[in-house]
Structure 1
Amino acid sequence: MRARHADNGNGLCMHWLEAGDASPETPMIVLLHGFPDLAFSWRHQLLALAQAGFHVVAPDQRGYGRTTGWTADASSNLRAFRMDNLARDILGLVHVLGKTSVHAVVGHDFGSHVAAWCALIRPDVFRSLAMLATPFTGPPGDAGTPVPRARQLAEAIAGLSSLERPRKHYQLYYSGPDANVEMHGARQGLREFLRGYYHLKSAEGAEERPMPLPDLSASSLARLPTYYVMDVGLGMADTVAQGIAQREMGPSRWLSEDSLGVYSEEFGRTGFQGGLLWYRAATSPALQKGLEFYAGSTVDVPSCFIAGELDWGVHMLPGALAAMQRDACTRWVSARFIADAGHWVQQEQPEAVNAALLDFIATSR
């Protein structure tokens, strides 16, 4: 495994991890992390996929880790953090590495959306798509044709504050001005905040088996765990502390102390604001309006979905899983759910995920 960095041609000095033969003729796989994560999250996939004959690349994306060239202050250009520009970051990396195509682009969490946008905009380059944990339902609708589902979601999120137990959606919290300061300066300490956050969203922290929500309403969304639909008076660090206090948390079988140290050191150095700007861009009506240019576009390369059976994130948006398979992706291959895994599926059950990825890649060669 190697660490490298270079100018990606889109304003970044991009840092990435890679494994395998880097010659131009070797087929490439690109692995894209989500929040709050790093290229390091793919440590179990890099060598396994390289041993199968691929050049495997996992970058720290814009706003994260050791990739530089982005800013996280109040004057940051949010347009740089919109999905089409994040996809352009990855296209630039592909060109830097001397490739003309990517055999498979694989994304986890928010990285699943970046991977999907790569395949949607440039199917000539990104030849197949694997999405982990977070379904992709397609571009925003056309401004002249309001999308009832989008309006219904906005109404449901707004309605959370009026519930008997007032709540707020985590994406709006992440988009606000206080999230970075509260999480980076967590009262329990940054390392313990991250330990608790990763634990609660993993199979080890699951208290019940996730299930699809009955409808898209505030009362349905309120059934989600508090790390998705938070009490209105709490930040995420306090939400995590409260969740951990209500259960026993033993040593993790999937996140070692050394690995946790990598995360706490990197986010201690950079803070979370770079990643939080993704949420701010995604919840900005003005910025999302620009993506309506792609309304009606579909992902037309072979596509699959992989998730942990105990991941509530799969059901966070009611109907998203079906919409991904039915509407967003025209060459659907498979959906696979991994036993004894939560949200961090590629770290919790790496061998099962590696096998699922290789099975998918074999069908899309």
Structure 2
Amino acid sequence: MHIAEAGEGPLVLLLHGFPESWYSWRHQLTALAEAGYHAVAPDQRGYGRTGGPDAVDRYTIHHLAGDALGLIPALGARQAVVVGHDWGAPVAWHTALVRPDAVRAVAGLSVPPLPRGGRPPTEALRELAGDAHYMLHFQAIGPAEAELERDLGTTFRRLLAGRAALAPGSQPLVPDGGGFLDVFADPPRLPGWLTEDDITFFTDEFTKDGFHRPLHWYRNLDRNWELTAAWHGARITPPALLIAGEQDMVVANARTRQAIPALTSYVPALREPVWLPGCGHWTQQERPQEVNAALIDFLRSLD
């Protein structure tokens, strides 16, 4: 696995989401290092300079959590604090669920810890939003890749800066006859937290291998549900933290926000969530100072 790292001290793994790379943690690596930690951000399986196999079934949650757990001894540590954003958050939560002995603490950005449901996820999503839900749109191999790879600059501009096209709390639904990028407006300008150099970095990272392997993460939703049956009803026991933007489409709806306090039955050591006013989905890139402060406070509370 390709990693970016900084600092010395207790190990902190930083797991990126879709469609990103280690670079999404560029602001956290140096801040955590200066605070006395060994911060490590890998390109996860299927991404960037790590790459990965082409088979869909090699991207299950067991593979992804196994990759994170394999890094801990490879980096000379016995335990790590595991932090994940977007898709990296479920990887972090599951890593803490299956190996609490190796996870000193866990933090999720954007995506809260969700217990295993009683039926396959695609069935629940179809009932919620029909076939238009973007995760269902990603299930077929080919169409999503073609759309997202057609113009990488446009793809990253819309995904990272075009969130205003979504009403607060709305589900990202793919319009009939359209594509995933139609969910997002083409931004007239980049926000202050995102530069042309950032767009260029992400574009360059996806130029060689595209979106095929990263999309496989979504194509294992039901397989993950089957593979985690043995943990149904199990609890995440390490100390835990959720950091999220108040305008993040994942948690912005009132129903989700109201359900978060009840998650302590699933994650008993879950701290009070850190809500970032005015922040969207790309949490640690949009609000690096606030995220850095929250993570460092959480880490120091463990000592």
TM-score by length of 1: 0.77
- 2:299 pairs with 1:355: no
Give the structure 2 partner of residue 71 of structure 1.
Answer: 53
Shift in CA distance, 289/155, structure 1 to aligned 2, threshold 3 Å: closer
Give the structure 1 partner of residue 214 of structure 2.
Answer: 275
Instruction: Name the amino acid aligned to 1:119.
Output: A
In structure 2, C-alpha distance between the alignment counterparts of 1:85 and 1:344, rounded to whole Å? 24
CA deviation digits over 1:259-299, x for unaligned, max 9? 110101111212011111010011x3x45212101111111
- 2:137 pairs with 1:173: yes
Secondary structure at the residue paired with 1:127?
strand
- 2:161 pairs with 1:190: no
In structure 1, C-alpha distance between the alignment counterparts of 2:165 and 2:181, rounded to whole Å? 18
Equivalent positions of 1:219-234 (< 5 A) are 223-224=170-171, 228-234=172-178
Equivalent positions of 1:244-263 (< 5 A) are 244=186, 249-263=188-202
Instruction: Name the amino acid aligned to 1:236.
Output: F
Question: Structure 1 regions of 5+ residues with no counterpart?
Answer: 1-13, 142-146, 162-166, 212-222
In structure 1, C-alpha distance between the alignment counterparts of 2:261 and 2:61, rounded to whole Å? 19
Secondary structure at the residue paired with 1:231?
coil
CA deviation digits over 1:4-34, x for unaligned, max 9? xxxxxxxxxx00100002xxxx211110000
Identity value in percent:
36
In structure 1, C-alpha distance between the alignment counterparts of 2:298 and 2:78, rounded to whole Å? 21
Shift in CA distance, 160/53, structure 1 to aligned 2, threshold 3 Å: closer
- 2:134 pairs with 1:157: no
Instruction: Name the amino acid aligned to 2:3.
Output: W
Give the structure 1 partner of residue 4 of structure 2.
Answer: 17
Candidates 329, 332, 350, aligned match of 2:270: 332
Instruction: Name the amino acid aligned to 1:64.
Output: Y
In structure 1, C-alpha distance between the alignment counterparts of 2:274 and 2:214, rounded to whole Å? 27
Secondary structure at the residue paired with 1:312?
coil
Shift in CA distance, 38/151, structure 1 to aligned 2, threshold 3 Å: closer
CA deviation digits over 1:122-177, x for unaligned, max 9? 11111111100011212x35xxxxx2xx479835624644xxxxx60000112222
TM-score by length of 2: 0.92
Equivalent positions of 1:104-119 (< 5 A) are 104-119=81-96
Divergent runs of 4+, >6 A: none
Instruction: Name the amino acid aligned to 1:133.
Output: S
Secondary structure at the residue paired with 2:4?
strand
Give the structure 1 partner of residue 73 of structure 2.
Answer: 95
In structure 2, C-alpha distance between the alignment counterparts of 1:287 and 1:235, rounded to whole Å? 25
Select the structure of larger CA radius of gyration.
Answer: 1
Question: Structure 2 regions of 5+ residues with no counterpart?
Answer: none
Aligned length: 301
In structure 2, C-alpha distance between the alignment counterparts of 1:156 and 1:302, rounded to whole Å? 30
8 Å contact kept, 1:137–1:327:
no
